[in-house]
Amino acid sequence: MTDPILSATRLRKSYGPTPALDGADFGIRSGEVVAVMGPSGSGKSTLLHCLAGIVTPDAGQVTYNGRAMSTLSDAGRSRLRRGEFGFVFQFGQLVPELTCLENVALPLRLNRVRRKEAERRAVDWMERLEVADLARKRPGQVSGGQGQRVAVARALIGSPRVLFADEPTGALDSLNGERVMRLLTEAARDTGTAVVLVTHEARVAAYSDREIVVRDGKSRDMGHAA
């Protein structure tokens, strides 16, 4: 077995007197999909934010690609999130003023890729996520399921080594949720991207290779998903 590309040991994080994480552990390898499960308020989103370098834990350590996240400056963590991490959120968070094509191409444009090349690669990813026909539409003109697949294409276009998906189907009906998860996991496995999938739904976790349950700020590795 290869070493984890991203891991966490004994993470603790409190907000005021309330502990969100109380000694949580985590590990994921390249190409693996790991579901982080737990009820609302269990600490699973805080764990994701610590893993992504968005939140600094009070204690414990997050290690990415052999380097402790704590050794990086704020600017270094921002570069990591922009260059090697991808994100999919519950409501997509597409830019409403841009077309779907421009939204998908946006990460490349922010990294100074020429517009023609960025949009060519965006079309490739939109075809892969089955939304190429929406290229000229704006987010307000597409359905929730379509918008979420556009968001997945945007998250993957920069070839991230780790994709963080926080309740990616939470705002979708079951049929659209299944389609998003199928396309997301297929694309990630094809590219060797590790996926940290935060969810409270068993049907979504079923797309993962392994499940970690977070409850009262503590983590438990449940092994292979059913």
**Amino acid sitting at position 46:** T
- Given a cut of 70, whether residue 200 has pLDDT beyond it is yes
- Given a cut of 80, whether residue 199 has pLDDT beyond it is yes
Share of the chain above pLDDT 90, in %: 75
Structure tokens at 84: 């090697």
**Amino acid sitting at position 47:** L
Domain boundaries, the chain: 1-84+160-168+191-226, 91-159
- Given a cut of 70, whether residue 1 has pLDDT beyond it is no
Confidence band, pLDDT 50/70/90 cuts, at residue 3: confident
Strands, E, within the chain: which ranges?
Answer: 6-15, 18-28, 33-37, 59-64, 67-68, 85-88, 162-166, 194-199, 210-215, 218-224
Determine the pLDDT at residue 65.
Answer: 93
Q: Give residue-wise pLDDT tens across range 33-71.
A: 999 998 888 899 899 999 999 999 999 999 999 999 999
CA–CA separation, 146 vs 130, rounded Å?
9
The CATH H-level (homologous superfamily) assignment of domain 1-84+160-168+191-226 is P-loop containing nucleotide triphosphate hydrolases (3.40.50.300)
Residue 132 CA: distances (Å) to CA of 100, 104, 120, 147: 9, 11, 11, 12
SS3 76: helix
Angle at 87 between CA 200 and CA 201, to 5 degrees: 10
User: Cβ(182)–Cβ(207) under 8 Å?
Assistant: yes
